[in-house]
Chains A and B, each alone.
Chain A
Amino acid sequence: MVSLKEKFGRIVGADRVSDGAAERYVYSRDMTENPPHEPQLVVMPSTAEEVQQIVRLANEERVPLVPFATGQSVGGLTIPQVDDAVIVDLKRMNKILNVDEEGMYIVVEPGVTFGHVRKYLDENHPSLRYTYPISSPFTSVIANALLQGLCDLSTRYGAMAEFINGLEAVLPTGEIVRVGSAILGDDNWFGRFPLPDLVGLFTGWQGMTGIVTKMALQLWPKKPFTRHFALFTFGEFMTTDLLKQIARGDLAEDAGALSFSVVKALIGMPAPIEAIEGEPDYGTFLTLSGITSLELDEKVRVLERIVDRSKAEEPKNLLIPFEAVARLMSEEAYGWVDFPSDSFKQLTEYDGLTWMGTYIHPKNWGEALFKGRRIVEKYGYELMAFLKPMKGMHFCEFKFIIRFPRDDENLKKVRQCNNELLDLALDLKAIPYKTPVWSARKLHERADPNFIELVRRIRNLLDPNGIMNPGRWGL
């Protein structure tokens, strides 16, 4: 009798499938506090056709599949939720297929990372840019878009899923489909409208509706004039009020605010970092740009005016040009604003990293931060909040990052801390993103049951055998 391993091996090659103890262990867990669960196999396809054959075989054999791009999710999203799962590691599908200068989009496979996109564009299309998150430079561009993450253009344009022009996916039943304008051909990935917007069948679904094998993402022209600033502020309410004004003024391409502890980590302060009485609570890195120097200068003037006005309430608020930050901290500081992924190293202190992140109504932003901070302080973790005004201030993001040693005591404590943070967020009607299963279940308890039922129905419709990432998102 031919084993399952051999059957997968016939599709991808025997050396691209493993049931070794090492692979089963390493793919069973990630950097977060989420409980491990071993897969039975790991398989590495290199083409959409191989993915299609894998999905067809999984249907025949009723084997659960878990897509894995580069394994950088901070939510346990590639950890199997059921026994005998097969991890589909997509890192060999790492081609940048096309950049359309006129249509300003890039078409990539799931193994393509932010670092590779950045380098490719700089070398081949220097007038265009993509958008980059504070995550490892080797995070999958497609995974981050599918998971609706945020990036350094989110202050203006919103979550990364907004950047998707269209995609190709292998459905749970094995068909290869396209959504978006490329239904009319390969050189036509210009957008999603006017069509039934089926990109939504894949974004936010955490791999339950198929395996995305190709995606077109919007690029943006680089503005010729750019300046960066650092804004140091005090208190959660005052900080968020000030950020709201800046974002509503459409002044900044990006406004990423960090607890001052993160700023101290960036300048090399060793862990654990404690907040010191009297120091600013937040440091915000602002990117302003313009088509002309006049436009940029005027934006800077308006920004300065807004910050000056805020000093009536908090005289210590401080806006300084980024050159001063770089002089103070090191030239490396330019890397943080130019390519935020470079600053991710500050989060690699231990073997554990987690966060409870949400998108939230602007009216609840300050309160969420204020109360969340107290929870993190109670558990004795470093204050590492990250917040961002999103999509011109239509909504906001906040998360509390915890870097921790993954020992039993900390795993338990981190779970409790994140649970409390989630309860707080849900009390304030925030929506958690990149949700681990425990978090999704808590959301289900409070969400409109008809919505949850609709999600379940769509999933069952697309995946009658329930092979795609079963158990994910609490379904």
Chain B
Amino acid sequence: MTSDGSVIEQWLHSCVRCSNCKYVFREYFPSCPSGEYFGFETYYASGRIWLAQALYKGELEWEPSLLDPIFACTTCGNCEVQCLAPHREHIVDMIEELRARAVQEIGGLPSHIRFRENVVQFHNPYGAEHHNRNLVETHSLPLQAETVYFVGCTSNYRETQIRDATISVLKKAGVDFTVVDEYCCGSPLIRTGQLGPVNEAAQHNVDAIRDAGAKRVVTSCSGCYRTLVRDYPKLGIDLGVEAVHITQLLKELIDKGTIVPRPNEPRPIITWHDPCHLGRHMGIYDEPRAVISKLPVDLVEMETTRENAWCCGAGGGAKAAYKDWSVETSKKRIEQALRTGAELIVTVCPFCTRNLRDGSSEDGPPVIDLTELVDRFI
């Protein structure tokens, strides 16, 4: 990064638009949900990079027609995996910086502005009544504990079965944990270039975790995990404790024999969807598979998997601003899942769970979270 922190400036003369970002290397499956749907060159990573560079250099003036190419991207990071050029690890950062500049210059998208206002007012993007700390009473949790379960807004206000399954598993495993008065981690705001309220929310979370006397934070949300581990340090926020994803903790608990999955017959066939925020953004592919391998299920992988996995379509503010495209993207993933013959689609991200379900037909395989699956068998 350059002295003013601009990753766009750092890579101002990179990207020939060779199109490698558009397809899985040597497999030639489409990799970019945005480009695949909208089609114009501007909706692929390479087009966005050229826009970012042009706006930075002043070759292009800010105007509202730029908003769609800039924001219709799930920031899934598949382009970073496929790109072979020197800037490859920085594409998502460039897009996020471009978005922050867009918000500054011409304002963001209305749906994004709405959830920013909700985060400021209600501490979650859904505008739901803030009730996180009630979980302490509901589940008889201590006020202080070694581990803080950072629930995340989507698990707490939309996909509550993930929250409940996680709490159940942690209890069955005898983990000393609690929940704190958490605010939105800031992920939806960072992904959509609305950085203004992020630091305050982040600092609140740091204080709440410290006040709980915790030594580590575990989260069942891939977006929260990415944000706590990768974004907070970039924002100058020191979490002060180790942050782990639930898949890492589950693997540890199974490896130690703390939780022992029961045998079950017949073994259901499942397929696994790698969440972008956990996989491509954080490099965690093996832990969930290690957990699944200990469960009484048979895993059949989809045709695009691990770092090449097709995105569910929900991330980067896409679900809020581009519903049709978001669900179309999810449908493509569901089609891949159906081709495996799986009876269950398993993932470990509340956004992915939600959107994959939205892309499924009623008679299709159910979409569940890995915590739910583990909870069934322990």
Contacts and interface: CB of A to CB of B under 8 A. Distances in A.
A350 B12 CA distance: 9
A191 interface: no
B244 to A, nearest CB: 35
Contacts of A116: 28
B41 A27 contact: yes
Q: How many B residues are at the interface, by size bracket? A: 35 or more
B18 A351 contact: no
B14 A22 contact: no
Contacts of B51: 22, 25-26
Contacts of B339: none
Contacts of A113: 19, 28
B19 A70 contact: yes
Interface in A97-150: 113, 115-116, 118-119, 136-139
A25 B59 CA distance: 9
A405 B85 CA distance: 13
Interface string A1-30: 000000000000001101011110111001
B285 interface: no
B27 A119 contact: yes
Interface residues of A, number: 44
Interface stretch (B60-68, B114-122, B196-204, B345-353): B60-68
B65 A21 contact: yes
A368 interface: no
Interface in B35-83: 38-42, 47, 50-51, 53-54, 59-61, 63, 65-66, 68-70
A468 B60 CA distance: 28
A348 B53 contact: no
Given A116-B28, A352-B13, A345 B41 contact: no
Contacts of B65: 20-22
Contacts of A72: 18-19
Contact of B42 (A20, A136, A351): A20
B18 A136 contact: yes
Contacts, number: 115
A397 B23 CA distance: 30
Contacts of B86: 348-349
B1 interface: no
Dominant secondary structure of chain B at its interface with chain A: loop
Interface string B120-161: 000000000000000000000000000000000000000000
Contacts of B39: 16, 44, 89, 91-92
B14 A44 contact: no
Interface in A326-378: 335, 339, 342, 344-345, 347-353
B41 A89 contact: yes
B17 interface: yes
A119 B15 CA distance: 25
B20 interface: yes
Contacts of A30: 17
Contact of B41 (A23, A92, A347): A23
B50 A347 contact: no
B98 to A, nearest CB: 11
B47 A26 contact: yes
Interface string A69-103: 01110000000000000000101100000000000
Contacts of B85: 345, 348-349
A345 B16 CA distance: 10
A350 B40 contact: no
B19 A138 contact: yes
Given A20-B42, A349-B86, A138 B26 contact: no
Interface in B78-106: 84-86
A407 B12 CA distance: 9
B17 A71 contact: yes
Given A25-B59, A119-B28, A138 B18 contact: yes
A122 B26 CA distance: 12
A47 B60 CA distance: 33
Interface string A377-414: 00000000000000000000000000001110000000
A30 to B, nearest CB: 7
25 contacts: A20-B69, A21-B65, A22-B70, A31-B16, A31-B18, A42-B40, A71-B41, A89-B41, A113-B19, A116-B28, A136-B20, A138-B19, A345-B84, A347-B16, A348-B15, A348-B16, A348-B85, A349-B14, A350-B13, A350-B16, A351-B12, A351-B16, A351-B50, A352-B16, A405-B13
Given A89-B40, A335-B26, A344-B18, 18 more contacts: A15-B38, A21-B65, A22-B47, A23-B40, A26-B40, A72-B18, A118-B28, A119-B28, A136-B19, A136-B20, A138-B19, A138-B23, A345-B85, A347-B18, A348-B84, A349-B86, A350-B16, A351-B50
